[in-house]
Amino acid sequence: MPKPKVFATHGLFDVARQILQKSCDVQYWTKPGRPPREEVLQQVKEKEGLICLLTEKVNEDLLREAPNLRIAANVAVGFDNIDVAACTKRGVAATNTPGVLDETTADFAWTLLMAVARRLSEGEALARSGNWKNWDLDQLVGTDVWGKTLGIVGFGRIGRAVARRASGFQMKVIYTDAVRPAEEVEKELKVEFREMNALLAESDFISVHVPLLPETRGLFDSPKFYRMKPTAFLINTSRGSVVDEAALVAALESGKIAGAGLDVYENEPFIHPGLKRANVVLAPHIASASLETRTKMACIAAENVVALFTGKRPPNVLNPEVLKVS
Ligand code: GLV
């Protein structure tokens, strides 16, 4: 039996390749950068599996070109690049990589939070510039993190990992989510629930951890920024489109909020020029980018693919209904 043919839009890591090699015949995209769309559409024509990054849209246009496709395995936890309903309609299993990146992403939300509060980007630029003349009492004074109130919007695995880190900073942690966890979880994590508007008014730092869904697109709009404290900071490591970027720029320009730490943007890799300001720390979507975590993500995607082609249920299938009919 020939092995099923798979296209991977990245060279992945050796450990992931080893997982795949036993049961799949994989063609890897190993050139620098992301493959052009035409290349992906060409590659999927004959393939039964696709391993892709969040830069590839798995939509009707792609699925139409891929009549033999049985699985689209995303190397990411967020899967807003995948039209899961379209996959289901065509009997294609869609998978993601939940669980392995929570702590790493939480670390990075904190990296942004501390960097923007303590003006690290400005300080580093000054330190490297050769223009640093002397220590001064009011030089690059930022704002304290310790003892402040952290508001977490979206209290899933990553939001909770962010909350756990706050206790060392003696912070009060409040959260909002459509689904409230059991009381024991709130107690254990020492967090209090707030309705969104109360959280906006009370928080010194707001860290966003919701997935991008129709109901969370543009969640942070002008009225939300108006409700925030003028001394508060917005941290976003979720998806750029959860924030209305033009409204954020307006809020920063008019001093409605104090600053932002951003890893994600509405139209990546484009970054709204109005965000390139001293009180905004910008990162290029790297919250999960530790070697340990990215390796695990690639392995999980590989395991999902191997599971499907060896007659097992892919552990992270998003549309299990397709498995029943195949
Ligand atoms: C990264 O943004 C991911 O969704 O895994």
Q: What is the CATH number of the domain that holds 204?
A: 3.40.50.720
209 and 221 part of one domain = yes
Name the catalytic one among 39, 122, 192, 268: 268
95 and 127 part of one domain = no
Distance between Cα 54 and ligand 1 center (Å): 7
256 and 313 part of one domain = no
Name the catalytic one among 10, 209, 239, 294: 239
The average pLDDT across 229-241 equals 98
181 and 244 part of one domain = yes
Cis peptide before 32 (omega within 30 of 0): no
3-state secondary structure of 15: helix
Q: Which of 101, 103, 107, 294 to mutate to test the pocket of ligand 1 (most atoms within 8 A of CB)?
A: 101
234 and 298 part of one domain = no
The average pLDDT across 249-253 equals 98
188 and 81 part of one domain = no
Fill in the amino acid letter for 65. E
d(C-alpha 321, C-alpha 152), whole Å: 33
Residue numbers of the domain that contains 128: 102-282
266 and 141 part of one domain = yes
User: In percent, how much of the chain has pLDDT > 90?
Assistant: 99
177 and 94 part of one domain = no
191 and 276 part of one domain = yes
199 and 174 part of one domain = yes
Return mean pLDDT, the chain: 97
Helix (H) or strand (E) run with residue 72 in it:
strand 71-74
What are the backbone dihedrals phi and psi of residue 125, each rounded to the nearest 5 degrees, phi first?
A: -60, -40
The average pLDDT across 107-133 equals 98
167 and 242 part of one domain = yes
The average pLDDT across 271-294 equals 98
**Pocket lining for ligand 1, CB < 6 angstroms:** 54, 76-78, 101, 288
pTM reported for the whole predicted model? 0.97
Cis peptide before 269 (omega within 30 of 0): yes
Q: Mind listing the pLDDT tens digit for each residue in 211-227?
A: 999 999 999 999 999 99
Give the pLDDT confidence score for residue 1 in this predicted structure: 85
For residue 146, count other CB atoms closer than 10 A to its CB: 10
Predicted confidence (pLDDT) at residue 325 exceeds the cutoff of 70: no
137 and 269 part of one domain = yes
Looking at the structure of the chain, the number of domains it has is 2
Q: Which of 54, 112, 236, 262 to mutate to test the pocket of ligand 1 (most atoms within 8 A of CB)?
A: 54
